[in-house]
């Protein structure tokens, strides 16, 4: 692997690994700190007025970007380096990609059923369910749960993965250990969740107090727009461009969040309840 490939791999890991991305789904407003406010308003206004027929295209394009991010996150979870160096993990990786699409399909079916139910109750009984708020909340909750699940499992099996155990064997040993030490396992899970929330809170403080004001100051000083700009929705091309820019802002947010993640992860690894001797005797 040459230097350029190593740089690309490190960037991919910084933007997609661990619980990166959860900060945006818990606090969606954080992504707007990376966008030009006037361009965002103009783009949204043009979409919801004269170009509202493009709304389904926006939905499926965002969904495609979402699936791409989750697949990249799985890739970073399974492969610390080039995937050809870990041939035993390829089947597990593809199984998880298929399961991800299955979970997403079930989620979409549930959301469609909720949509039909809300329209039925509204038409026949005059009961208006909070459709948009409900769909957005369910989608965020599903994503946050999925990211946390992948992270917690990755942290638990990390000692076994370092000894090149298979995924299923690592999970079986972890489950057996948790059944023997339920209170220690519960305490470590709570500790991981607390550190995740603390990391997100620290990122919020940094972006509001330091990063966003610094970008505004540098933009004024240089006379150049340093925020990501969107364009008015006038065609299908503008839809793809804006979604790509939003995805870029999302990845940029992840990149700045990654150093905080690494600090918390080092602390968690030092406190991991499964020792190396226990792995060697497994």
The per-residue pLDDT for 275 is 66
The per-residue pLDDT for 197 is 93
Query: pLDDT band for position 69 (50/70/90)?
Result: very high
Asked whether the predicted pLDDT for residue 48 surpasses 80, the reply is no
The per-residue pLDDT for 124 is 76
Asked whether the predicted pLDDT for residue 4 surpasses 80, the reply is no
Share of the chain above pLDDT 70, in %: 96
Asked whether the predicted pLDDT for residue 280 surpasses 70, the reply is no
192-246, pLDDT tens digit by residue?
999 999 999 999 999 989 988 888 888 888 877 778 888 888 888 888 998 999 9
CA dihedral 243, 42, 141, 137 (to 10 degrees): -140
The more confidently predicted of residues 279 and 72 is: 72
| H-assigned helices in the chain | 3-16, 22-26, 37-48, 55-78, 90-125, 131-161, 167-180, 182-206, 212-222, 236-270, 276-280
Query: pLDDT band for position 281 (50/70/90)?
Result: low
Tell me if residue 230 falls in helix, strand or coil. coil
Long-range contacts formed by 273-279: CB under 8 A, 24+ apart: 273/181, 273/184, 273/185, 273/188, 274/156, 274/159, 274/174, 274/177, 275/159, 276/159, 278/159, 278/177, 279/159, 279/160, 279/162, 279/163, 279/165, 279/173
Q: Are 31 and 250 in contact (CB under 8 A)?
A: yes
The DSSP call for residue 228 is B
Out of 3-12, 133-142, 254-263, the most confident range is 254-263
Nearest residue to 18 (alpha-carbon basis) of 263, 244, 239: 263
Asked whether the predicted pLDDT for residue 278 surpasses 60, the reply is no
Task: For residue 166, give Cα distances in angstroms to 19, 75, 82, 169, 276.
Answer: 22, 15, 17, 5, 16
Asked whether the predicted pLDDT for residue 277 surpasses 60, the reply is no
106-153, pLDDT tens digit by residue?
888 887 888 788 877 777 777 777 777 777 888 888 889 989 998 998
Query: pLDDT band for position 45 (50/70/90)?
Result: confident
Instruction: Return the number of other C-beta atoms located less than 10 Å from residue 150's C-beta.
Output: 20
The per-residue pLDDT for 29 is 82
Domain ranges of the chain: 3-280
Nearest residue to 252 (alpha-carbon basis) of 34, 7, 74: 34
Cα four-point dihedral sign 81, 86, 89, 91: positive
159-202, pLDDT tens digit by residue?
887 777 777 888 888 888 888 889 999 999 999 999 999 999 99
In total, the chain counts a number of residues equal to 282
Q: Are 155 and 272 in contact (CB under 8 A)?
A: yes
Tell me if residue 35 falls in helix, strand or coil. strand
- Integer-rounded Cα Rg, in Å, for the chain is 22
Rounded Cα gap, residues 264 and 54, in angstroms: 42
The per-residue pLDDT for 55 is 80
The whole-chain average pLDDT of the chain stands at 84
The per-residue pLDDT for 279 is 52
The per-residue pLDDT for 260 is 92
């Amino acid at each position: 692997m040459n230097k350029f490939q190593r740089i690309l791999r490190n960037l991919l890991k910084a933007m997609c690994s661990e619980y990166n991305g959860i900060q945006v789904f818990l606090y969606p407003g954080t992504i707007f700190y990376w966008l030009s406010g006037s361009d965002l308003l103009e783009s949204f206004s043009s979409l919801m007025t004269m170009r509202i027929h493009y709304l389904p295209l926006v939905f499926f394009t965002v969904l495609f970007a979402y699936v791409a991010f989750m697949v990249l996150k799985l890739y970073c979870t399974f492969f610390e380096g080039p995937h050809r160096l870990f041939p035993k993990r390829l089947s597990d990786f593809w199984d998880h990609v298929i399961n991800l699409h299955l979970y997403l399909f079930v989620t979409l079916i549930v959301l469609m059923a909720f949509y039909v139910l809300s329209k039925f109750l509204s038409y026949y009984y005059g009961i208006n369910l909070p459709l948009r708020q409900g769909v957005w909340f369910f989608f965020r909750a599903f994503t946050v749960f999925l990211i946390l699940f992948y992270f917690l499992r990755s942290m638990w099996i990390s000692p076994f993965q370092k000894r090149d155990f298979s995924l299923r064997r690592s999970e079986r040993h972890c489950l057996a250990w948790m059944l023997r030490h339920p209170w220690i396992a519960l305490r470590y899970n709570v500790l991981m969740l607390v550190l995740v929330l603390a990391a997100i809170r620290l990122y919020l403080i940094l972006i509001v107090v330091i990063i966003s004001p610094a970008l505004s100051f540098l933009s004024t000083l240089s006379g150049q727009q340093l925020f990501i700009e969107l364009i008015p929705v006038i065609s299908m091309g503008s839809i793809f461009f804006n979604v790509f820019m939003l995805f870029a802002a999302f990845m940029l947010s992840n990149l700045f969040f990654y150093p905080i993640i690494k600090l918390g992860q080092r602390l968690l690894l030092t406190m991991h309840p499964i020792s190396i001797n226990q792995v060697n005797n497994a």
